[in-house]
Each structure stands twice: as C-alpha cells, then as structure tokens.
Amino acid sequence: MRLLLIEDDICLAEVLVESLSDYGYIVDVVHDGEMGWEQAIRGNYSTILLDVNLPKLNGIKLCQRLRSRGYTVPILMITARDANIDKVIGLDAGADDYMVKPVNIIVLMARIRALMRRGKVAAETNLVWGDLILNPSSHEVTYNEKNLDLTPKEFALLELFLRSGKRLLSRPAIISHLWATGDVPSEEAVKAHIKYLRKKLRIVGMPDDFIETIRGLGYRLKSDN
C-alpha cells in the first residue's frame, strides 16, 4: 500500500516514514501544500496523511481543492491544533479523520487501516496461487499450511507477483510499484530481494522456478502453476 505524507516538519516526517515502512507501507513525502497537490493528483495512493500548517498551501485549502476536483482517496489530517472547532473545520474541508500531535503510532496505524476499509481498498480476499495463500489484510502468507516469515519488502514483492499473475514484470516496473519516490534502489538490490524471497519459498516446499527469470526482460510467475 502506498501512502502520501504531506508534512513540513522534516524530523517528524522521517520518524513517521520509518514507522510506516516497518508496517509494510510505501511512503512518498513532500513538505509543502503545492508539492502535495502535484504529488496527490499524479500518484496512486491508498491514503493521504496531511498536516494542516503547511507552507505555500495549507492543509485545509489543499483538502478543499482535492475534494472539489473529485479526489476520493481517504485523507487523514495530522495537526497540533486540538480545539474542537479546528477538528470541525478540517472535517468540513473534506478530511475523513483527524489526529492531534504528538501522534501515537499504534493508533495511527489503526486509523489508516480503518480508512482503507472504509474506502474499500484494504478489505480484500486472499490471494491464492495453488497451495500458496497471501492475506493482504493480516500480512500472513502460508504454503501447505506452513507460515512464511517475510520482511515487509518481501511480502510486498510476493503480493505484486500474485496480483500480476503471469504478466511479466521488469525490474524498473517492480521498483516503481514497491519503492517510494526518492528512495529508488539499484536493480541489483531488486535481484537480491527476489533471491531472498525465492529462498524462503523454497524452504517451505515451493518449486525453485516458481518465480521465473526471463533473461533481459524481468520476472513472472511460472506459467504452468
């Protein structure tokens, strides 16, 4: 799941990105309202985390602009303002939820999950490929009832393959799906993640060539599965 964080406090943004990444989210970050507008309409996000006090275009006006253009992605406002009238203004501007700083990470995660369910982007059925089952909501993977212990990036990589089916995925395509803007790894790093994912799949009994390498082009799931 890809999130957009619009926050001008760079230290806070770094803390939030680290915490959200630990939970398996891909996070793009911008630091003013105008950049937030451009990134929001250009990207494909599950949720936007929006500070109110932003330079160039504040969070209230940005939220109003997005909603006036028919933008339906859930928006969670994060602000130091805790007066009831401030919450009312934020919700009336089109925000779906409102949190007051300092942010409790566990509560933030619960709020994000709730918004995604409300937006019908997270309440999904399992992804199944033979005896391999991936649950997008609980972040659990099993093969023949054996649990796989995957890192967040390995889980996201396997989820991408399962959603893509037999479609070929190039390394640049994988990078664009699974890494945040400005945090682009080398293609060798992608190869390493796939290597470790294959190893863990092999340990629970998956075929060695479950994820096929198409030389010079990319990767796909084995056609005869």
Flag whether the pTM goes above 0.75. no
pLDDT above 60 for 86: yes
Structure token digits, residue 55: 């330079």
Whether 7 and 32 have beta carbons less than 8 Å apart is answered as: no
Model confidence pLDDT, tens digit, residues 162-210: 888 888 899 888 888 888 766 778 888 888 999 999 999 999 998 878 8
| Count: domains in the chain | 2
- Residue in this structure with the two tokens 């054996």, named with its chain if needed: 146
Residue at which a domain ends, from 72, 99, 118: 118
pLDDT confidence bin for 123, thresholds 50/70/90: very low
Distance CA 193, CA 88 (A): 45
pLDDT confidence bin for 76, thresholds 50/70/90: very high
Do 113 and 26 reside in the same domain of the chain?
A: yes
Residue at which a domain ends, from 118, 136, 152: 118
25 is in which domain, residue-wise?
Answer: 2-118
Q: What CATH number is given to the structural domain containing 158?
A: 1.10.10.10
Q: What CATH number is given to the structural domain containing 18?
A: 3.40.50.2300
Do 104 and 164 reside in the same domain of the chain?
A: no
pLDDT above 70 for 122: no
